[in-house]
């Protein structure tokens, strides 16, 4: 037996060992992607906030989700609402702060095209191809789907088919796929299986719209449907809603400037929000429950400097065992 392997073989094995040690798969596409087991801190950035956001906020994130493209009824991914997004600045910040950048498709007033796409196999394929092109063109790391909301069981089944087609199209490129939904949505098991992350919007409930108890119930509803805990991402609000008039909202920045609430206060003038202490408890719950991370709606609603809720979240994550 020859114990002296050629130097090139040794070098190749050394490189492969280093790649594995760094958590980098051979098919991985995300630039500077965090290790798979890292607790994820994900923030949405709407197109109408993108120009004004201090991009240093990305230093507290693992993932930035740009909101949002719109699914067209013909199967294309319409990015016309994203014309004001400073893509070059975002890509620079993405590299500087070592975060992934994801494109969202859909949202409350941008979901009308989903039903037609999901119901048609040809349009599903076209949408998947359009999404791949968008991700590759903009150097994105994946897509987040936010259909608000499928109207019935048939649309939920079609949604699962769309997610499966996206997964098939994404795999050769190493692109990530997430779905963002309300806990009451009845996505079939195949839909959950197709995605890397299930981001639960644990807010906008009636009354006190985003309590710790409500968050626990939302997570449990997904666990009861056999969604693995590491795949679940807990949604956190950076805004408050009126207890009786839910259309009346204030951003955390507005609440902090107007009322200067103490850290443990979550309610002022019948506006319910999540203050620093509640967010710390939610992060602790997510960590102790083995969830994959937390997600924030949305970064432009945060307060600057020492009043930043994103900073509270980052500190809570870093100080957890």
Which pLDDT score, from 0 to 100, does residue 95 have? 97
Residues in the chain: 321
| pLDDT (average), residues 302-311 | 97
Does 317 have pLDDT greater than 60? yes
Q: Return d(Cα 311, Cα 321) in angstroms, integer.
A: 18
| Tens digit of each residue's pLDDT (9 = 90 or more) over 280-294 | 999 999 999 999 999
pLDDT in tens, 227-252: 999 999 999 999 999 999 999 999 99
Find tokens 């009354």 and name the residue.
207
Flag whether pLDDT at 32 surpasses 70. Answer: no
State the average pLDDT over residues 184-190: 97
Provide the 3-class DSSP secondary structure of residue 265. Answer: coil
Give mean pLDDT, residues 143-171. Answer: 98
The pTM of this model reads: 0.88
Class of domain 32-238+275-319: alpha beta
What is the pLDDT averaged over residues 255-268? 98
From residue 291, alpha-carbon distances to 10, 64, 144, 187, 201 in Å are: 39, 18, 18, 19, 14
Q: H or E segment at 217?
A: helix 212-223
In degrees, to the nearest 5, what angle opens at C-alpha 207 toward C-alphas 205 and 209?
A: 40
Distance, CA of 55 to CA of 241 (rounded, Å)? 27
> CA nearest 114: which of 68, 83, 82?
68
What is the largest distance, in Å, between two alpha-carbon atoms of the chain? 81
**Arithmetic mean of pLDDT, 121-148:** 98
Q: Which residue has the higher pLDDT, 68 or 37?
A: 68
pLDDT of 311 over the 70 cut: yes
pLDDT in tens, 191-231: 999 999 999 999 999 999 999 999 999 999 999 999 999 99
On the 0-12 / 13-18 / 19+ scale of CB atoms within 10 A, 238 is buried
Q: Give the H or E element holding residue 174.
A: none
């Amino acid at each position: 037996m020859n114990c002296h392997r050629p130097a090139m073989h040794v070098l190749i094995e050394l490189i492969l060992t280093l790649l594995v040690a760094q958590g980098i798969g051979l098919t991985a596409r995300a630039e500077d992607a965090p290790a798979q087991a890292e607790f994820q801190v994900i923030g949405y950035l709407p197109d109408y906030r993108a120009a004004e956001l201090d991009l240093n906020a990305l230093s507290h994130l693992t993932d930035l989700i740009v909101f949002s493209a719109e699914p067209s009824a013909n199967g294309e991914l319409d990015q016309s609402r994203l014309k004001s997004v400073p893509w070059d600045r975002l890509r620079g910040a993405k590299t500087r702060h070592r975060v992934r950048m994801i494109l969202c498709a859909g949202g409350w007033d941008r979901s009308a095209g989903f039903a037609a796409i999901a119901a048609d196999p040809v349009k599903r394929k076209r949408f998947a191809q359009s999404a791949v092109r968008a991700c590759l063109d903009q150097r994105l790391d994946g897509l987040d789907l936010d259909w608000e909301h499928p109207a019935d069981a048939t649309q939920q089944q079609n949604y699962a088919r769309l997610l499966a087609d996206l997964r098939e199209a994404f795999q050769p490129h190493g692109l990530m796929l997430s779905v963002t939904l309300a806990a009451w949505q009845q996505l079939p098991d195949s839909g959950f299986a197709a995605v890397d992350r299930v981001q639960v919007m644990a807010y906008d409930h009636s009354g006190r719209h985003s309590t710790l108890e409500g968050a626990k119930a939302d997570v449990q509803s997904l666990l009861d449907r056999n969604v693995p805990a590491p795949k679940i991402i807990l949604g956190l609000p950076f805004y408050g809603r009126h207890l009786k008039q839910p259309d009346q909202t204030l951003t955390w920045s507005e609440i902090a400037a107007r009322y200067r609430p103490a850290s443990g206060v979550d309610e002022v003038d019948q506006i319910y929000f999540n203050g620093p202490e509640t967010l710390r408890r939610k992060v602790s719950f997510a960590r102790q429950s083995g969830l994959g991370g937390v997600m924030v709606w949305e970064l432009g609603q945060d307060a600057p400097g020492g009043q930043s809720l994103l900073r509270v979240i980052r500190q809570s994550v870093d100080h957890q065992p």
